[in-house]
Structure 1
Amino acid sequence: MVTYNPKMWLGLIFHAYSKQVMKTLMPALLSIGLFSALICFGADYLNLDSKDFPSSTVVHSLLGIVLGLFLVFRTNSAYDRWWEGRKLWGGLVNSTRNFALKLNAVLPAESSDRKWFAQMISNFAISVREHLRNGVNISELEIEDESILKELQNKNHKPNHIGSLLYQRTESLFKSNVITGFHLTNLDKELKDFIDLMGGCERVRKTPIPYSYTMYIKKFIFIYIVTLPFGFLETFGYYTIPTVLLVSFILLSVELIAEEIEDPFGKDVNDLPTDELSLTIKANMKEILL
């Protein structure tokens, strides 16, 4: 995620797009520019009068309004997914703090459970982060117990197993009379929030924008851009080429940015700072429990 000052206009105006967006945008703009140039030079070479091409300026203006509404909805939908992901991770930060603070109030200062919980709560956050990407790498977790490491290696859903271990350890505190039933109920609520928040992130990750809608808007953009040179030729002549490129740049950029932020848990420049958030949780656990 990019940290920036929204008041620095010049810096934002001249800032380049992310590499992922540019890799898709530049070839598309090059193709559109060549296509527009072919239409203009072809009309000139064949001595075609601009009036031989039907003027569709009004039609394109009306379609542009409709397309703009679609793109606004598309961008808002993508941003809603991004913001929901941020709220879920904010909830995870708060729930881990609450759980640690409640444990800190009841665990003896010299208890070995403090270190265990500090590590495993941190591991839960890290495993959720990696689970939402391409899978959990055991080497990124801080686990001293070899038996737990072996168990995790055989589990497909590693955050679930870590959550189960947290439940088991909390229950053992109750059975050994370290905490009361009242404490157990309070701690259980926070652990439930861990799982609920993880499930919310999985819902965002595994439920993309409906295929039909995505397919339709891409077709709409394609048809609109491809027909622009024919509609603009009569009015702009050779200036049709830069005009079409400018319109295409705006439309394609909005769509590509929406594509990038609709899946907010990756490592792209506009994705959520889940690395920093998981490190924040880890630092909080050490400060509270150790």
Structure 2
Amino acid sequence: MIVTEKESWLGMIFAVHGTTMELIWPRVGVVFCWSILITTIAYLFPEHAYTLTMAPFTVVGLALAIFLGFRNNAAYDRYWEGRKLWGRMVNVCRTFTMQINTLVDDSTGESRSEASEDVQNQRLHMVRLIICHIHALRHRLRDTDAAADLEEQLPGDKLLKRDLAQDNVPAAIADRISRQINAAWRSGRLDKYHVPLLHNCLTEMMGIQGGCERIKSTPIPFTYSVLTHRTVFIYCMALPCGLHDTVGLMTPVVVALVAYFFLGLDAVGDEIEQPFMTDDNDLPLLQLTTMIERNVLQLSGRPEEELPEQITPVDHLLI
């Protein structure tokens, strides 16, 4: 995700990093060179030049702009839903940790004694599992290996290798959290009336995971994207034939400007269609998971030296 201060109007005009210009300039260059070729033929060999009226370009251009707008709205809906899901995950993890810290104890009644070391260790282990779940989910959404992050949270854990071998590592971690909740209840450290509260948080985490997996595994239909790409390409390549009689030698410049508009809109939809990857404008999952990790460890009373460093933008980019 691009994070930057509001630039001046002129600065926004000439911004390149984080915009579609980095992606589409070769395509615009091809269209520009093609326009130069068509314009040159029209002036040097007018008998071989092919001329079209602007009427079809006007109709198709309007329809294409609307079509691209609908596609980009669909892509942004996926992006915004992904951000809302991770916003819910932040809140659920904080709530889950606070409930673990206050409900898991080895005493009952209004007068609660200081928790024993075993209880504190059990609380911390459950919190570490929550952290493992969000890191595993991030890696699952980005198709990367979660082993290093999980081993850092649970060093020497005998069950971790089994969890990492499963197809769905976050679900395996969630299953361990559920077993920890039940173990706390059986040992008398968790009241039976509080068990559903913790399970509700776990259920909410699994629901968020399912929503993220749905976005990742169900892209915008391939045929829809292909039709958009083809229509933009054909429109831009045919446009010089409709302009060289009226625009003259400025045809390549005008065509390049129109191509930048349509190709840029097309590229925006492609970039935000999958919001969980690592493109410049995708969601900063590493920053979000690290923030959650810091929050839940601080709520658990861990010292500052045990907290991960906050993720800050590098060249205005959060990942």
> Which TM-score band applies after superposition, normalised by the shorter structure?
over 0.9
Map of 2:314 onto structure 1: none
Match of 2:145 among 126, 136, 152: 136
Map of 2:273 onto structure 1: 262
Map of 1:79 onto structure 2: 76
Match of 1:105 among 97, 102, 105: 102
- Conserved 8 A contact 1:86-1:272: yes
- Conserved 8 A contact 2:16-2:22: no
Q: 1:249 Cα deviation (Å)?
A: 0.6
1: CA distance, partners of 2:182 / 2:11: 54
Q: Which runs of 5+ in 2 are unaligned?
A: 106-114, 302-319
User: Secondary structure of the residue that 1:181 maps to in structure 2?
Assistant: coil
- Aligned pair 1:15/2:15, yes or no? yes
Match of 1:93 among 87, 90, 108: 90
Q: Which amino acid aligns with 1:75?
A: N
Q: 1:63 Cα deviation (Å)?
A: 1.3
Map of 1:163 onto structure 2: 174
Match of 2:63 among 51, 62, 66: 66
Q: 1:17 Cα deviation (Å)?
A: 4.0
Map of 1:127 onto structure 2: 136
Match of 1:114 among 114, 123, 139: 123
TM-score computed with the length of structure 2 as normaliser: 0.85
Which structure 1 residue ranges, 4+ long, deviate > 6 Å from structure 2? none
2: CA distance, partners of 1:235 / 1:281: 59
1: CA distance, partners of 2:300 / 2:61: 58
Q: Which moved more, 1:5-14 or 1:217-226?
A: 5-14
- Conserved 8 A contact 1:53-1:234: no
- Conserved 8 A contact 2:135-2:146: no
Map of 1:147 onto structure 2: 158
2: CA distance, partners of 1:120 / 1:194: 12
Map of 1:41 onto structure 2: 40
What do residues 177-214 of structure 1 show as CA deviations (whole Å, max 9, x unaligned)? 11112110111110001111001000000101011211
User: Secondary structure of the residue that 1:135 maps to in structure 2?
Assistant: coil
- Conserved 8 A contact 1:173-1:179: yes
Map of 1:277 onto structure 2: 288
User: Secondary structure of the residue that 2:142 maps to in structure 1?
Assistant: coil
2: CA distance, partners of 1:139 / 1:54: 62
- Conserved 8 A contact 2:276-2:283: yes
- Conserved 8 A contact 1:92-1:197: yes
- Aligned pair 1:185/2:182, yes or no? no
2: CA distance, partners of 1:186 / 1:90: 20
- Conserved 8 A contact 2:216-2:276: yes
Q: Which amino acid aligns with 2:27?
A: A
Map of 2:257 onto structure 1: 246
Give the % identical residues: 31
- Conserved 8 A contact 2:51-2:241: yes
1: CA distance, partners of 2:158 / 2:276: 30
TM-score computed with the length of structure 1 as normaliser: 0.93
CA 1:72–1:277: 2 relative to 1, 3 Å: same
Q: Which has the higher contact order (CA 8 A, sep 6+)?
A: 1
Q: Which amino acid aligns with 1:70?
A: F
Q: Which moved more, 1:225-234 or 1:99-108?
A: 99-108
Q: Which amino acid aligns with 2:80?
A: W
Q: Which moved more, 1:69-78 or 1:129-138?
A: 129-138
Q: 1:23 Cα deviation (Å)?
A: 5.4
Q: Which moved more, 1:102-111 or 1:220-229?
A: 102-111
Q: Which amino acid aligns with 2:5?
A: N
Structure with higher helix content = 1
What do residues 58-91 of structure 1 show as CA deviations (whole Å, max 9, x unaligned)? 2211211101100110111110000000001011
Aligned residues: 287
